[in-house]
Structure 1
Amino acid sequence: MPSIQSSVQPSIPYAALTAVLLIGYFFVWPLIVYFRDAKGLRRFHNFAPLSGASNIPFMVLAHGGARSSHLTQLHKTHPILRTGTNTLSFGDVRAIKDIYGHGSPCTKDDQYNLLAGTHYHLADVTDKHDHQRKRKILSSAYALKNLEGWEHKVSDKVERTFAHFDSVCTRPLAKGQVFADPGDLTVDCRAWTNFFSLDAIADIGLSERLGLLDRGHDRVDARRMDGTVYECSLRESLYPVATKQSLLSWTYDWYKIIDKVSDLVPYYRRLSSKGKHWDAIVVQRAALRLERYRAGEKLDDFFQALMENKNGEPNSMEWGEIVAEINIMMNAGSVTTAIALANVLHQLICHPDVLQRLRDEVDAVLDPDEVVAPYDKVKHLPYLRACLDESLRLHPPTPHGLTRKTPPEGMHVMGEWIPGNTTVAVSALVAHRSAAFKDADHFQPERWLGEDGKKLQSYFISFSAGARGCIGRNISYLEQTVFVASMVHRYGFALAEGFEMQRRETMNWILGEMPIKIWRRDLGTE
């Protein structure tokens, strides 16, 4: 019978060998690759000491919730930063056209493939031909001409929002008073802009009344794969998947493993669990709308455009593909608009002179008793659009750099030769805080007026740029324009003294609560 000692000893060399191999693979080999520098990327400044040899420093930065803000500071002295083993961040607006512009040879990089579901949607499809096919189908739904047909849906959601606001109005601020008393903070503006954008996109996209604005909460039905229906929180389900991806998706070769292993940690496990509710919410919305379609309802919405072209001919899209498009429509179509609305209202409160100038412009075209601003009356107001764009510039809802991949043969970006198959990006926050914008840290809507403002538009990438720019920007502008014009016309609003907006960067900028005091304006005496 062998001794215990003899049975244990042979395993020691294997354990030691395993440790040596792991150290060599994860630590020594990356350093060899870094110093060998086959692509010549070592000439670019590392954003962190080891960022050229490992993607871990960027993952650590992502966990801080302000990675683009950090890069903004670094880019003031380094126009190009190496943020990973094969990743470059550009801090000069000249790179926008090279990377994102029409005709750019760059394609969406491998991150989009990693994060895609079983079917690609318009935002994550990487194949150019497949993207063109999808965009052709969806362009009819997102066409500018459809705005006139969908305005009544947006107006309806504004009315429902204001029905709640009217019920919680307080007395106006006393003369000379600037800040609201804590007891008068009756509206969480962040939550209600979210309710508004979710209700609006559900109606625009699926002709469905989610009813968040009517109920004042976000509990909705969701559907499991077995067909059973249950209730869950929409807002709690909306952000977890993107949050987890924003923390862990920067090492492409290992992401699938990292994603699974991370669920051993309670924090990541909770994110994964809550994210499953979002998929179930989307499945329920899609299933309900399909039932109506099969029953013969012809509705003017996004779903109808997915199913048929303008001549009534079927598009023959797979059901999984349709569900994927509904998913991104409800997600990106609500999250960014809600963030934008909360941000611009926050800026207007903090800049009373801007708010007064905007009110003067809006009041001049609206009747005193108009509750919802007709889009035709306010869509061309220059200062209103300037306020929206300036807020989007200062705090773009999606601040991080949307990753692209250089073509195999390489290309020039900002005059620098970048080898092929290298990930490149320009952060919207970085671009908008660059030297192209004077006093970039300050809210100055006037910068967008006149010819100088037109020139700045080529550096404005809150909706990205080029062929892969946001297809839903017209809908977002419709919602923002009508909501903000109506809001400043009907109400006065104020924040408590010392309030600061809490922002955490994931794939988007997730905002904290924004409690405000609100009251009806007396347009007859002001």
Structure 2
Amino acid sequence: MRQCLANAIYNVYLHPLRHVPGPFWARASEVPSWYYTTGGRRHIWLWQLFQIYGKRIRVAPNLVLFCDPDAHAAIYGMKSNVRRSPFYVGLTKNIREKTTLNTIDPAEHARRRKMLNTCFTDSSVNATSAFVSKHIDRWHQIMLDEHDSATEWSTSVNLGEKVDHLVFDIMGDLAFGRSFNIKEPGDNALREVPKKYCPVSQILLLKTKMCRSPFLSSIIWLKPRGLDRLVELITPPPVQRFNNFVFDSVTKRLELYKKQEGIPEDERRRDMFYFLCKAQDSSTGHPAYTEDELRAEASLFIIAGSDTASVSLASVFWYLVRASRCYQKLVGELQITFDTAEDVVYGPKLMGCTYLRACIDEGMRLVPPGPCEPPREVLAGGLKVMNDYYPEGTIVGTAPWCDSRNEEVYGDAGVFRPERWIIDEATGVTSEMVAEIRTNFHPFLSGPGSCAGKGIAMAEMLLVVARTLLRFELRKAPGSTLGEGSPELGWGARDRKQFQVVDAYISLKEGPEIQFRKRASPEAKVGRK
């Protein structure tokens, strides 16, 4: 007890960061930050603190967060004097399965990222878009099998859950050449995996709580000394089934890759696993990944890739069915550009749909895939952020949820307004205004830690939204409040027009709840005679 009291006194009055504002107990101990993590509402707490203390807050004795575009550039830039914090070591499954995400050594991370970049090229995006379209079409057929009417609305449907199933199947196919078939009718033991309150989500919540706890250093020490094994033993059955599926899928996909080595490249299955297997370590000329590393990277690709796309798509649809003007404007753009949903393919025409891209950007702004900060540890020599110096060992970061609600940058930051992303004299949006908000917009992160698969994720979202709105009319389910804010949630989460999420390192969401019906024939299209 005396030691705890002494530590608290030191942290508040003698610590090198004592001049940084923040709540008294947060400056004294990691407990407040940990407390809000356990409830999944830490991102709301951080937003509240920025409203009280300004652009810089101390939310734990050794953790300083910022809400400023220049601070983001200083922390996450290509030449920033930082590395990933020990938080990422705590996230690792075990010592064997290191991934690009949880590698904290800057040189090793750069080496791994360089190899990973060879897998995510324009060629790989074009090659994989056909797999994405195939799954979207099958997903739509299942919806039509449930309700095939152009006049009557369907019963209420949790579109967020259906999007989870679609995206998870896409990721499985791209990663392993095997779909999970979660979207298919009938029983499926893996269907619990992508749900908000499923065991995988609970594992992520548990790991996030561990990594933001006051005991992180002890946890890291214990991981190779029995803790990893204990976590494996208590892993829930659905997660074990997922892990077994990953293991078996990698084994079978490796066999197929080796079997196809002698045939022309354009006849081989060119999914993401193909590009991972093909990647070479330029320093040795050997394959970039061991079999264990392939399993780890492929598993990460599924979890991270499906989360980014599913929460972003859910956000876009959640806001669109509540914003009739935006919905109609987007449908009009799509119907003028494409004759049918089948015509929507990844390419210049789709990329030229500026309002579609603006809607996706706006959805990702309001609901970032990860609401809280990717923590970075300052290296020897220190780091200057917003004209202040931070010594070696300080943990720094910016929280996307808070960045996206910065009124100095966005003005009406809480409003879904896609027009803010489009230069247009009629709306008064200038190139300078768009450039300013772009500097604060990092849905795929930035610098060395940016998402390698952002091209595939964006292609997937463009295809899903465009094909879905050309095949179906959507509306908010009457009376549905799923995903809305409410007065009971408190300051920062009261607005019913805001889509709420739970922080589990990634964003966990519920909704939107919608009704759908088959869109009328092409002759009835908006914008066509």
TM-score bracket for this pair, using the shorter chain length:
0.7 to 0.9
- Who is 1:321 aligned against? 293
CA distance change for structure 1 residues 121 and 414 in 2, over 3 Å: closer, same or farther?
A: same
Q: 1:508 aligns with which of 499, 506, 509?
A: 506
Q: Output one character per residue of 1:425-483: Cα deviation in whole Å (capped at 9) or x when no partner.
A: 10001111112111001101011112122332111011111121111111110010011
Q: 2:396 & 2:40 partners in 1: Cα distance?
A: 21
Matched, 1:185 2:155: yes
Q: 1:311 & 1:57 partners in 2: Cα distance?
A: 44
Matched, 1:246 2:224: no
Alignment of 1:195-206 (within 5 A): 195-206=165-176
8 Å contact from structure 1 (residues 237, 278) kept in 2: no
Letter of the structure 2 residue corresponding to residue 81 of structure 1: I
CA distance change for structure 1 residues 271 and 340 in 2, over 3 Å: closer, same or farther?
A: farther
Q: Output one character per residue of 1:215-268: Cα deviation in whole Å (capped at 9) or x when no partner.
A: 366524xxxxxxxxxx985653432221112223113223358999xx9xxx99
8 Å contact from structure 1 (residues 121, 324) kept in 2: yes
Q: 1:328 & 1:349 partners in 2: Cα distance?
A: 31
Matched, 1:302 2:272: yes
Alignment of 1:34-433 (within 5 A): 34-35=11-12, 37-39=14-16, 41-46=17-22, 48-78=23-53, 79-116=55-92, 117-118=94-95, 119-169=97-147, 184-215=154-185, 218-220=188-190, 233=193, 235=195, 236-250=198-212, 251=214, 252-256=216-220, 275-296=239-260, 298-309=268-279, 314-367=286-339, 369-371=340-342, 373-376=344-347, 377-433=349-405
Letter of the structure 2 residue corresponding to residue 246 of structure 1: T
Letter of the structure 2 residue corresponding to residue 321 of structure 1: E
Deviates more, 1:96-105 or 1:300-309: 300-309
Letter of the structure 2 residue corresponding to residue 28 of structure 1: L
8 Å contact from structure 1 (residues 238, 331) kept in 2: no
CA distance change for structure 1 residues 386 and 146 in 2, over 3 Å: closer, same or farther?
A: same
Letter of the structure 2 residue corresponding to residue 344 of structure 1: V
8 Å contact from structure 2 (residues 90, 207) kept in 1: no
Q: Output one character per residue of 1:49-71: Cα deviation in whole Å (capped at 9) or x when no partner.
A: 31122111111111222211221
Q: 1:508 & 1:299 partners in 2: Cα distance?
A: 31
Letter of the structure 2 residue corresponding to residue 166 of structure 1: L
Matched, 1:444 2:445: no
- Who is 2:490 aligned against? none
SS at match of 1:76: helix
Q: CA deviation at 1:318?
A: 2.3
Could you state the TM-score of these two structures normalised by the residue count of structure 2? Answer: 0.84
Q: Output one character per residue of 1:389-411: Cα deviation in whole Å (capped at 9) or x when no partner.
A: 00100111211110001122211
SS at match of 2:523: coil
Q: CA deviation at 1:273?
A: 6.6
- Who is 1:12 aligned against? none
Q: 1:363 & 1:399 partners in 2: Cα distance?
A: 34
Q: CA deviation at 1:145?
A: 2.5
Q: 1:218 & 1:30 partners in 2: Cα distance?
A: 51
SS at match of 1:81: strand
- Who is 2:516 aligned against? 518
Q: Output one character per residue of 1:412-436: Cα deviation in whole Å (capped at 9) or x when no partner.
A: 1122111211000100011111121
* Gap regions ≥5 residues in structure 2: 262-267, 424-430, 484-500
8 Å contact from structure 1 (residues 248, 259) kept in 2: no
Q: 1:272 & 1:114 partners in 2: Cα distance?
A: 19
**Alignment root-mean-square deviation, CA:** 2.8
Q: 2:108 & 2:223 partners in 1: Cα distance?
A: 27
Q: 1:430 & 1:219 partners in 2: Cα distance?
A: 37
Q: 1:67 & 1:29 partners in 2: Cα distance?
A: 27
Q: 1:444 & 1:248 partners in 2: Cα distance?
A: 37
Q: 1:256 & 1:107 partners in 2: Cα distance?
A: 17
Q: 1:29 & 1:146 partners in 2: Cα distance?
A: 56
8 Å contact from structure 1 (residues 358, 383) kept in 2: yes
8 Å contact from structure 2 (residues 474, 516) kept in 1: yes
Deviates more, 1:199-208 or 1:279-288: 279-288
CA distance change for structure 1 residues 83 and 382 in 2, over 3 Å: closer, same or farther?
A: same
Letter of the structure 1 residue corresponding to residue 128 of structure 2: W
Could you state the TM-score of these two structures normalised by the residue count of structure 1? Answer: 0.84
CA distance change for structure 1 residues 291 and 96 in 2, over 3 Å: closer, same or farther?
A: same
Q: 1:259 & 1:314 partners in 2: Cα distance?
A: 30
Aligned residues: 477
Matched, 1:469 2:450: yes
SS at match of 1:443: coil
SS at match of 1:44: coil
Q: CA deviation at 1:276?
A: 4.4
CA distance change for structure 1 residues 316 and 45 in 2, over 3 Å: closer, same or farther?
A: closer
Letter of the structure 2 residue corresponding to residue 208 of structure 1: R
SS at match of 1:102: coil
Q: Output one character per residue of 1:357-410: Cα deviation in whole Å (capped at 9) or x when no partner.
A: 00111101111x434622222112111100000010011121111000112221
SS at match of 1:126: coil
CA distance change for structure 1 residues 234 and 480 in 2, over 3 Å: closer, same or farther?
A: closer
Q: CA deviation at 1:332?
A: 0.3
- Who is 1:481 aligned against? 462
8 Å contact from structure 2 (residues 315, 363) kept in 1: yes
Q: CA deviation at 1:166?
A: 1.2
Q: 1:31 aligns with which of 1, 4, 8?
A: 8
CA distance change for structure 1 residues 504 and 270 in 2, over 3 Å: closer, same or farther?
A: farther
Q: Output one character per residue of 1:283-333: Cα deviation in whole Å (capped at 9) or x when no partner.
A: 222222123234346431222222223799641532222211111111101
Q: 2:315 & 2:204 partners in 1: Cα distance?
A: 20
8 Å contact from structure 1 (residues 308, 314) kept in 2: no
CA distance change for structure 1 residues 268 and 518 in 2, over 3 Å: closer, same or farther?
A: farther
Q: CA deviation at 1:275?
A: 4.6
